[in-house]
Structure 1
């Protein structure tokens, strides 16, 4: 899954793809590099991020979604937590909805109950503006498991069948440095749900803080975490650096063919 942030304030590539021509060029490049899904985000969810209005998010996301669908055959995921943005995106041929709030915001369950599209439910403790202040868990892995069980039950109660659900444990969203690496080490435990797992670790502060690397110096760390996530059973790897990650995963896939 190739990341396409069309926001001025995203932590890694904020402002680079706010113009539609630049965004489409990036989409074409990611497709050529091996992406099978493009994930469009119209609101930054980095720690401390400022909220974006529904009107502004729709104005950012929908024209680009329409342009991609006119030019390419790639699947498009829309990264949003707003019911109105979900509804508009579905109307304009989005293939997946990716919600960091796991359909907890008003109206989101109702919107998704009216479609058969896949929905990615992400775990986040708190909200983007404050989530990294002091995250605390009784038991990190069990707490996230409990959260997913509850959200899946809510989805089922609103007619969203389990086979449409993707799970994202939410690396960097209300977790300390140590908790993020515990989560990565234990990622395979979420295979118990028998649902696809999405892992998004690309260029995140868990890499920068561990290695003392700025955002543009985190490629090696990002690739390493992507490979570990795949080894732990992740089905979708959400990344900025598509070409390099695809190369690494091809090597892993080839090695796995010869395991006994």
Structure 2
């Protein structure tokens, strides 16, 4: 998955791809490097980010989305829209997006599950407590058993999504690396992915087979582990991806 941030304040690349031309160039680069999915986000979800309105998000998103959909290089690639607004999700899918990626798993928009059920597209439900402006406060970082609690809280969201009309086979779960978690929590989640899957599987056989999406990106915890600046965290990221691939092969 290649991540395209259309925001001025994202932690990694804020402001770099706000023009359609710059965004298209970045998508072309990501596809040439092997990306099979392009995730486009127009709302910053970095810690302490301020929320923008539906219309502001659409104004940033739609021109770029339409251009990406029309790229010859994007033929056969999956395009996901990273949003917690149901109105943005609906408009993006109408313009060609294939997947809705919701960092709040429906908590920040009570209409999200109902809208996605009607859209009949895959839905990524991510674990987060609070919202980007509050997710890293002391209360939201309290865990007795991070893997067990992430699994339980995620399951409660996907269960509600099922009841409203999103079938289990259309959902992808994301434990939310960097969201409501500190460095130690992130490492526990990465090492405990089989436990998270098993915990969810105890509640739902169908969801025990749900794909798991992991988004370490260039996040802060990578820098804390390797003491590298933002632009030099790719080596550790590649190592993490190799470990995740090994884990996936063991459970298949």
TM over 0.5: yes
Verify the 8 A CA contact 2:148 2:195 in the aligned structure 1. no
What's 1:245 paired with? none
CA distances 1:177-218 after superposition (whole Å, capped 9, x unpaired): 111101111112234421101000011011112222221121
- Whether 1:118 aligns to 2:133 is no
- Whether 1:93 aligns to 2:96 is yes
Residues of 1 paired with 2:177 and 2:194: CA distance? 14
Counterpart of 2:245 (choices 219, 226, 230) is 230
What's 2:205 paired with? none
Q: How high is the TM-score relative to the length of structure 2?
A: 0.89
Q: Secondary structure at the match of 1:114?
A: helix
- RMSD, aligned α-carbons: 1.4
Q: How high is the TM-score relative to the length of structure 1?
A: 0.87
What's 1:196 paired with? 211
**Higher RCO (C-alpha under 8 Å, 6+ residues apart):** 1
Q: CA deviation at 1:152?
A: 1.7
Verify the 8 A CA contact 2:90 2:119 in the aligned structure 1. no
- Whether 1:210 aligns to 2:225 is yes
Q: CA deviation at 1:117?
A: 0.5
- Whether 1:142 aligns to 2:157 is no
Q: CA deviation at 1:62?
A: 1.2
Once superposed, which parts of structure 1, at least 4 consecutive aligned residues long, lie more than 3 Å away? Answer: none
The 5 A counterparts of 1:51-66 are 51-66=51-66
Q: Secondary structure at the match of 1:10?
A: coil
Instruction: Extract unaligned runs of 5+ from structure 1.
Output: 234-252
Instruction: Extract unaligned runs of 5+ from structure 2.
Output: 199-207
Q: CA deviation at 1:151?
A: 1.2
Residues of 2 paired with 1:142 and 1:160: CA distance? 24
Residues of 2 paired with 1:83 and 1:166: CA distance? 17
- State the aligned residue count: 235
